[in-house]
Amino acid sequence: MKKLKIIIAGFAILLMSASAFADKHLQAALGDEAPRLVIENDSTTLSLESLKGKWVILSFWSAGDAESRMYQNQVSTLSQAYKHTAAHQPIEIISVNFDRSKQLMEEIISIDHLDSDMQFHIENPSEIKSIRKTFRMNEGLRTFVINPEGKLTIADPTEEELKKLFA
């Protein structure tokens, strides 16, 4: 009986170790390939994979997270300021909203004068949880820069880092 308990305990430890190892590979880290993400809005279905060859600013935000909302405004302002300049590489700005309702997101987009074309809303709590885990957003929401090769290069870029991308 004692041997059986030891074998069961050893097997449980082995399973937990394998599970932790697998989860680690499903989560994004700087320098890694951007995780698979497919999102849609009223007019577009978009995958990060389809944006290879372009710089991508992927921003997760919510009206209830003041820092992420301010960041949306900063990225939007910079992109508008540099919209007509000759950037070295195309830049796509993708905003993923986690508000409890799409209507709230739309109201904030209108109030803050954000570009609605590349705004995507995710309301499903399990999908939000999965995305938060995959992109390692344990607390708060984040913004990532993905290079043309599809790798995560910067997390929560500073204004200066963003200006370098747009210039």
Cα 100-93-161 angle, rounded to 5 deg: 115
Confidence check: pLDDT of 160 > 50? yes
pLDDT average, residue stretch 49-76 = 91
Confidence check: pLDDT of 4 > 80? no
Range 58-96 burial, b when 16+ CB lie within 10 A, else e:
bbbbbbebeebbebbebbbebbeebeeeeeeeebbbbbb
Helix (H, G, I), strand (E, B) or coil at 59: strand
Domain segments of the chain: what residues? 30-166
- Checking 17-20 for CB contacts under 8 A at 24+ apart, the result is none
Q: What is the pTM of this model?
A: 0.78
Where is 164: in which H helix or E strand?
helix 159-166
Confidence bin at 60 (pLDDT 50/70/90): very high
What is the radius of gyration, based on Cα positions, of the chain? 19
**pLDDT, tens digit, 9 for 90 and up, residues 17-42:** 333 333 333 456 788 899 999 998 88
* The two three-digit tokens of residue 143, written as one number: 């913004």
Residue 28's pLDDT is 65
Report the length, in residues, of the chain: 167
Give the neighbor-by-neighbor strand order of the sheet with 119-121: 119-121, 91-97, 55-61, 143-146, 152-155
SS3 of 62-94: the string is CCCCHHHHHHHHHHHHHHHHCCCCCCCCCEEEE
Confidence check: pLDDT of 7 > 90? no
**pLDDT, tens digit, 9 for 90 and up, residues 110-159:** 999 888 888 999 999 999 999 999 998 988 899 999 999 999 999 999 88
Measured between alpha carbons, how far is 119 from 73 in angstroms, rounded to an integer?
13
Residue 49's pLDDT is 93
Which CATH number does the domain 30-166 belong to among 3.40.50.300, 3.40.30.10, 3.60.110.10, 3.40.50.720? 3.40.30.10
Residue 88's pLDDT is 55
**pLDDT, tens digit, 9 for 90 and up, residues 74-107:** 888 887 777 666 555 678 889 999 999 999 999 9
In this structure, is the dihedral angle defined by the CA atoms of residues 101, 107, 108 and 109, taken in order, positive or negative?
positive
